[in-house]
Amino acid sequence: MTLRLGLLAASRIAKDAVVDPVDEVEDVEIVALAARDPGRGQRFAAQWGVGRACTYAELLAADDVDAVYIGTPAALHRRWTVAAVQAGKHVLVEKPLAANAEDAAMMAAAADASGLVVMEAFHWRYHPLVGQMREILDTLGPIKRVEASFAVAAVHIPTTDIRYDLSLGGGSMMDIGVYPLGWVTWVFGERPRVVSAEAHCDVPEVDSSMVVELEGPGGATATVLSSMVAPGRDRPSSLIVRGERATMLVTNPLAPQFGSTLLVETPVGRTEHPVSRDATYLHQLRAFRNAVVTGTPFPTTVTAGVEIMGLIDDSYRAAGLRPRPSLRDQMG
């Protein structure tokens, strides 16, 4: 079976997530691209070698589309994910899963009722580095402390960017912090508790940066840092896990294809482990194909996404901000 995929939104991330890796994934073909602006849709369809451009409604109604990749802003994920599964399409939806936990729960209910695959595009989760980290975590002893961060230089995300638009699900925690929150949750193996949070806002109600303190099982603690206003250059994403017997240090767990280090420190020295530079998106697209075609289980389910969105909502509340509004709230 060839999985016939449609792109819902001519988004920048679609090229990295689907267009670039598709030629390396057997039995997946991009057959259509939907855009609100017909001119933009036709332009990107031609640029990316996609057979045709169409509207969102036409994409969901198409008999030759088995699944859709949704790359809209987060506030639109619920609307189009629910519409897609109601139209009988499998879904690969960008992170964060939704504007907030309530919207995410609605998406999960629709996915469960449909029996279709709905995968959240946490691409890091599908890279071989994850297996390496899990093996090391099992050797660290009881986890005491986790530190996870992702910061982008201010010059790369001006305040005019849609990531500063509250109505579209803007904020550093939504766009960037969702990754380190995911790493912490993965390390603990369960949803941690938000203890406190502090946000800096350059646009009203939209966090340019945020620091969140969390508590995990057995009294373990964690700190998550997200920032769209890092001074100077971008800071590579990082994950540090301190156990009773050893510490694991990872640079760039987000995208090892651009270079990553995996180190283990013990009282007797430091060991570095080689990391594959395969693209995370390649492994993610293969996992999506396998989930649809052969029913292979996958970790970034909508149920897991609801938990992460709950953490994000809790972080906003702890920082004195409201969770990102649902689209229906904006529409009155």
Residues noted as catalytic: 95
Q: Are 50 and 60 in contact (CB under 8 A)?
A: no
SS3 per residue for the chain:
CCEEEEEECCCHHHHHHHHCCHHHCCCEEEEEEECCCHHHHHHHHHHHCCCCEECHHHHHHCCCCCEEEECCCHHHHHHHHHHHHHCCCEEEECCCCCCCHHHHHHHHHHHHHHCCCEEECCHHHHCHHHHHHHHHHCCCCCEEEEEEEEEEEHHHCCCCCHHHCHHHCCCHHHHHHHHHHHHHHHHHCCCCEEEEEEEEEEECCEEEEEEEEEECHHHCEEEEEEEEEECCCCEEEEEEEEECCCEEEEECCCCHHHCCEEEEEECCEEEEECCCCCCHHHHHHHHHHHHHHHCCCCCCEHHHHHHHHHHHHHHHHHCCCCCCCCHHHHCC
Instruction: Round to whole Å and give the CA distance between 329 and 332.
Output: 5
